[in-house]
Each structure stands twice: as structure tokens, then as C-alpha cells.
Amino acid sequence: MKFYFDGCSFTAGGGFKKYGYEDYKDLIWPHHIGEHFNAEVHNFAVGGAANETILRNFFVKNYDELESYDCFFIQTTYPSRGEWFDDVKGFWRRYKFKAYKAKEKLRKIDPDLENWIDFYLKRIYSDKGGGIKEKVTFRSIDSHLKALGKPVFWSTVIKARECRMDYHLNFKDPNQITNLPKTKFTSFPDGHPNVEGNKEIADEVIVRMKENEILL
């Protein structure tokens, strides 16, 4: 079997390099899922990814190969994130508006971006608009996979009270974690799941897959 994963740092292994792990590909939850099902893992998640990044990967970068996958694991991320194509440098740039360090990085690219960010947050971005982007990401990918007859497991890091769609697993909602004697996955100090936390996520995903009859 062949599995497709996408999302942000919670699926890409955020935190590992920061805390001294150089080779961590085999320590993150997509690897554990692949091992459990004896499946080949293709993980397109990157730290700081926006929902637009996930859409672009699905409908542009990997579109011609979608039918070759047996199951999809899609994790939506914070709606305030975005991306744009830097025509000068020739690659896509991601931004996280509500993170100060991200603001500093954008300022180094172009000082004018700082004013643009402030204007964007004041006049352009809204939680309602972010929620619509979340729906577009979820519904467009979900409907396409249904048309292909492919199973998908949906997860998110969006706070439960702010979610607009129904997910199989919410990494940030303690009430969603039903098979652990605690209220959250074990994490690094920065909040990303650590070695144990990634195993816990994989175990929880497998339980939810059985409950929702995904890949049975």
C-alpha cells in the first residue's frame, strides 16, 4: 500500500530538530502509521504550511499521482497562515501572521512587508474569512477523494471551538483524546508532539480509523 500525508509541523515532525534530533523521519506519527499497515509513506507536510499549501500540493504538485495512493491523511492548519509565490526568488514563501518571529523573517525579505502584514491583519484577514478557507480546503479535497473512491483521515490543529468542519482527530482538543489517561499528547516544550507524543498520535489515529471504518 501507499499512503499520502500532508499538513504542517504537527505532521512534518516539528520540534525534533530544535531539540537535538537530526534524523527523526522514523520517529514521527506518519512513519508509525506506515509501519502498522506495512505501507509506503509519502509525507508532503512542512513546518509553517498554510491550508493553501496543502491545496496546492494536492491539486497541482501531486495531482497526476493521486490515484496511485491507497489512503490519505490530511491535517489542516491555522487559517491565519498563507503563502505567496516570490517571483524574484522563484519559489513559494509561507507566512504566519500571528507569529512575531515570522514577522521578523518577512521584514528581512522586504521592509515593506511589515506594513503589509499590519494592514492585512487589520483590514483583510478575519476569522470568518479564515473559516471559509478551512471549508474550501476540506470540502474540495474531500469531494475529490470521494470521486476517486479513496479513503481519507482528517485531522487538524485548529482549536475545537473554532473548527468549521468535522474531523476524525483534533490535536488541540483534549476531549478528542479518548485513549490516553491525560488531556494532551506528550510534547516538546514548544508544544509539538515529541517521540512519545508521536507514538500516541499514531495509536489514536489507528483507533479512530477502526471506529470510522477507514481501510477496513
Model pLDDT, residue 150: 98
Residue-range domains of the chain with CATH: 2-80+127-211 (3.40.50.1110)
Q: Report CA Rg, the chain.
A: 17
The closest of 178, 175, 177, 141 to 161, measured between CA atoms, is: 175
Model pLDDT, residue 101: 55
Model pLDDT, residue 122: 75
88 contacts 114 by C-beta, under 8 angstroms: no
Model pLDDT, residue 181: 46
Model pLDDT, residue 201: 93
Model pLDDT, residue 71: 98
Q: Report the C-alpha gap between 153 and 76 in whole angstroms.
A: 11
**N- to C-terminal Cα separation, the chain:** 13
Instruction: For residue 114, give the C-alpha cell.
Output: 511589515
Q: Strand, coil or helix: what is 204? A: helix
Backbone φ and ψ of 143, nearest 5°: -70, -35
Instruction: For residue 214, give the C-alpha cell.
Output: 477507514
pLDDT in 10s for each residue of the chain, 216 residues: 999 999 999 999 999 999 999 999 999 999 999 999 999 999 999 999 999 999 999 999 999 999 999 999 999 998 888 887 888 888 888 777 655 455 666 667 777 776 777 777 777 778 888 888 889 999 999 999 999 999 999 999 987 667 778 899 988 775 655 554 455 789 999 999 999 999 999 999 999 999 999 987
**102: Cα separation from own chain's centroid:** 18
**167: Cα separation from own chain's centroid:** 12
